[in-house]
Copies of this chain bind each other. A is one copy, B any other.
């Protein structure tokens, strides 16, 4: 319950307003506005005087006033699952960069898989009048979004549709990267490959798993040579998966994981058991988080570019704004691709 002193209002620095600029340039405020927004044309010599006055006074338009009259806050929302998964901070930064290029600010909220946190954050988004929200949570809990939908706020999601008029789904091409991963393993000579999946209600995990199954079939593996384990996308989930696969007889010579954190868990178990990676066991992750480079050995993984994802999300919002009715509302695709590091090699190398 902080309260400011009333003086704080006028204590601000240079803060020139549009009227002062207009006076200095010898024009009306309307003309200054026309110049800064470049909508309507203004005579050369007047525009020049206006720019000069702006320069001299260090004027920047008050965004609150601007937002008030235009009805556009120039603020976007970004919803992520958990800040401790390094994938998200990187995505966050990319999204802020794209948004910033277009003069938007971003409100960021991480749900931490906590319903109440999400609710509170979404309430804040609505109150701040955001112009659009990128829901980057890989989770199907669209009832989270009901309040946003009710307010008719444009919504971009991953994999799973928000089922609302002003919304749009980004389609991540998991198959592409996972195909590369499986073929990479096949080329190295692996004939028994485990897949450590994330939790199944997530549509994204279903997609990743299906892509894996299709790939192994394509290289001619029998079903029992491509065992699955369903974990929970965390480090611990990875350790459980590793223990499960090691318990099989014969056990797989390679493990593909549904995300990097699980892969790191797998690496840990191997290290504890004295099983050398990649000589005795190959491991592949998914996401290419920063950490993937720093574990031992550096992780071969499927990269989903955060820049691409962030740009795609922004582009999606743009499409929703222009509301292109007949428009090119084609799906927006995000590519994935394999990054080979040192956690994969031929079995028994």
Contacts and interface: CB of A to CB of B under 8 A. Distances in A.
A195 interface: no
A14 interface: yes
Given A7-B323, A96-B109, 5 more contacts: A4-B322, A13-B152, A108-B108, A261-B294, A296-B296
Interface in A1-39: 1-2, 4-5, 7-14
Contact of A1 (B63, B102, B150): B102
A257 to B, nearest CB: 14
Nearest to A264: B294
A72 B9 contact: yes
A341 interface: no
Contacts of A127: 60, 63
Contact of A105 (B64, B107, B235, B321): B107
Given A83-B90, A151-B13, A151-B14, A63 B107 contact: no
Interface in A255-306: 261, 264-265, 267-268, 271-272, 290-291, 293-296
A100 B110 CA distance: 13
Contacts of A265: 294
Interface in A54-84: 60, 62-65, 67-68, 70-73, 83-84
Given A105-B124, A108-B108, A68 B60 contact: no
B105 A128 contact: yes
Nearest to A271: B296
A318 interface: yes
Given A62-B68, A96-B108, A14 B150 contact: yes
A83 B89 contact: yes
Interface residues of A, number: 68
Chain B CB within 10 A, most for which of A60, A64, A84: A64
A19 to B, nearest CB: 15
A244 interface: no
B290 A268 contact: no
A110 B10 CA distance: 30
A129 interface: yes
Given A83-B90, A84-B86, A124-B100, A65 B68 contact: yes
A127 B235 CA distance: 42
A235 B129 contact: no
Contact of A63 (B2, B129, B152): B129
A64 B129 contact: yes
A88 B267 CA distance: 25
Given A13-B150, A68-B68, A152-B12, A102 B2 contact: yes
